[in-house]
Structure 1
Amino acid sequence: MTEPTAFDVATFGEAMLLLVAAEPGPIEHATMFHRRTAGAETNVAIGLARLGLKVGWASRLGTDSMGRALLATMQAEGIDCSHVICDAAQRTGFQFKGRVIDGSDPPVEYHRKGSAASHMRPEDIDEAWLRSARHLHATGVFAAVSDTTLPTALRSMEIMRAAGRSISFDPNLRPTLWAGEARMRECINDLAARADWVLPGMEEGRLLTGESTPEGVARFYRGRGAKLVVVKLGPEGAYYDSDAAGTGHVEGFPVKEVVDTVGAGDGFAAGVVSALLEGRSVPEAVRRGAWIGARA
């Protein structure tokens, strides 16, 4: 007998306070910053919540001002934060980001080593709470944060697979967090093999699989058990390969002026996952993902 579900999507991940420079140029020249939230999983959680899904997020925060601000932000979005551990002995991670206006990659400085979230471990998972979601969204970022977050990510996926829940996975590569490229490739592909829906970017796919085409990247993950692979192609849209709808290509949505591409992939994931959980077709889901990614 299938257990009843209380909410739609659960996710684990590190939230960081983000300080974005108010004017373009090197970060060290900035005199004013705007406060934002950062974190691949939290970006997706917020996107899904705004699209009307019930979302739960599990993590660790310090009880410092940054941790309090992040928790309040997530709660204000209507996200279940009942399994966020707030620990006075740990500190919340943060990052600085330079402002760009030309579509280039912004300069970013991370201050996350030893953060509260990096101390998450498999024992922190409340299995009954996790199984009360009908879907798990995972990324390669949380797995890369520390030696204990990787087994935590793996355990969360094992629990959901055993419960018959669906799982989406976005590689979201952060090479600087891994001991080396070979280790990153091994771990990310192991995580992807545990997911139903895999959402790599083309450049990520090339690095992870050695394939040079969207079709090749999709075949690689389909051959490892994925029911759906969507390969993000930036302005060209996305290519999909699936059990339910075969293969196809969805055109991208034109963006008159690209300001900053950070967060576009998280928006894409929120669009695809939300549409699939609503029961929409694969092409419809990919189209929603492309539209939201362009907006982001």
Structure 2
Amino acid sequence: MSEFLTIGEPISLFASEDVDASLKDAVHFHKFLAGAEVNVAVGVSRLGHSAQYVTRLGEDPFGDFIKDQLNENHIGTDYIDSTPDYWTAFQLKDRVSHGDPSIFYFRRGSAAAHFDKAMLDKIDFSDLKFAHLSGIFPAISDQALDAFKHLIDLLHEHKIRTTFDPNLRPQLWSSKEKMVSTINALAAEAEIILPGINEGEILMGSRDPEAIADFYLNQSDITQTVVVKVGPEGAYVKTKDGDSYTVPGFKVDHVVDTVGAGDGFALGLVTALIEGKSFRDAVIRGNAVGAFAVQAPGDNDGYPTQEQLAEFLAANPR
């Protein structure tokens, strides 16, 4: 039993330690646990909430590493199975002094891409308060997409609140057209949608936060709130009843790596809502966790503890 649930593909990440060297030229790497959805689970657990992660791993060293990392981060593994038939995905990421790093995936045909949706029928929904969904898992295979849709049906059946982050990965899709149509259809099944302005431009043709929010609010009766992430400026919020506002971001002195900031925002928002805080306060927390994330080299190692977050918010009131 858990307060929080997510499904995804966890990855062993080899992050370069050679600043501004290409992946071809880099020779020093550090291994981390990575994957958008597992990032969120790590942060949720670090902030004191119980979390379960759903996936499939290969019976190989990378799969063993991921299991160890999940256990160390107190993330439930009740809904993870392993197979000797397929391998666990991994990736390489360079380190840059500015901008976003380059990432190279090794994940086609992985164990998670062959996820058995029968595992979803074993989930205990009794104490579940939130499920976080992302556009990455349904991109890795048709089998994963089918499982993802089945999980959505189960979440609706059990009246579980949901967030959805498009998390676009064009390299995982057969075409841009399929990516856009599938992601928008999946977003329509979520109560809260968390696109970025770059994703908005791809998915509905505009970088305007209000236009992006209106697009998703108007396409579904299920969607109640859209939070558009606008980078360092913070986040724009619009609700079904027309309420709208912008919550400014937090100033960061030194950005090390931007990967994981969006997942940090999601986990900050979700944990605050689990705790019964207002939506505005939840967005403030999301911005705060995102600020922590960009100051660390790994995808999730910079996420704060409860004490660190409290100190940060006290020192940076909103």
TM class by shorter chain equals over 0.9
Alignment RMSD = 1.5
* Partners of 1:17 and 1:40 in 2: CA distance: 12
Q: Counterpart of 2:279?
A: 282
**SS of corresponding position for 2:3:** strand
* Partners of 1:146 and 1:200 in 2: CA distance: 22
Q: Is the 8 A contact 2:206 2:212 kept in 1?
A: yes
Percent identical residues: 40
Q: Counterpart of 2:63?
A: 67
Q: Counterpart of 2:82?
A: 86
Q: Is the 8 A contact 1:202 1:231 kept in 2?
A: yes
Change (3 A) 1:207 1:67: same
Deviations 1:47-96 (A, max 9, x none): 11111111000111112111001011011111110111111222111011
**SS of corresponding position for 2:14:** strand
The gaps in structure 2 that reach 5 residues or longer are 294-318
TM-score by length of 2: 0.88
Aligned pairs for 1:208-287 within 5 A: 208-223=203-218, 224-225=220-221, 226-243=223-240, 246-287=243-284
Q: CA deviation at 1:294?
A: 1.4
* Partners of 2:116 and 2:183 in 1: CA distance: 18
User: Are 1:205 and 2:228 counterparts?
Assistant: no
Q: Is the 8 A contact 2:130 2:270 kept in 1?
A: no
Q: Counterpart of 1:50?
A: 46
Q: Is the 8 A contact 1:49 1:55 kept in 2?
A: yes
**SS of corresponding position for 2:136:** helix
Q: CA deviation at 1:131?
A: 5.6
* Partners of 2:156 and 2:180 in 1: CA distance: 22
Q: CA deviation at 1:153?
A: 0.9
Aligned residues: 290
* Partners of 2:121 and 2:80 in 1: CA distance: 11
Change (3 A) 1:276 1:202: same
> Quick one: which amino acid aligns to residue 22 of structure 2?
P
Q: Counterpart of 1:3?
A: none
TM-score by length of 1: 0.94
Aligned pairs for 1:1-296 within 5 A: 6-24=1-19, 25-102=21-98, 104-130=99-125, 132-223=127-218, 224-225=220-221, 226-243=223-240, 246-296=243-293
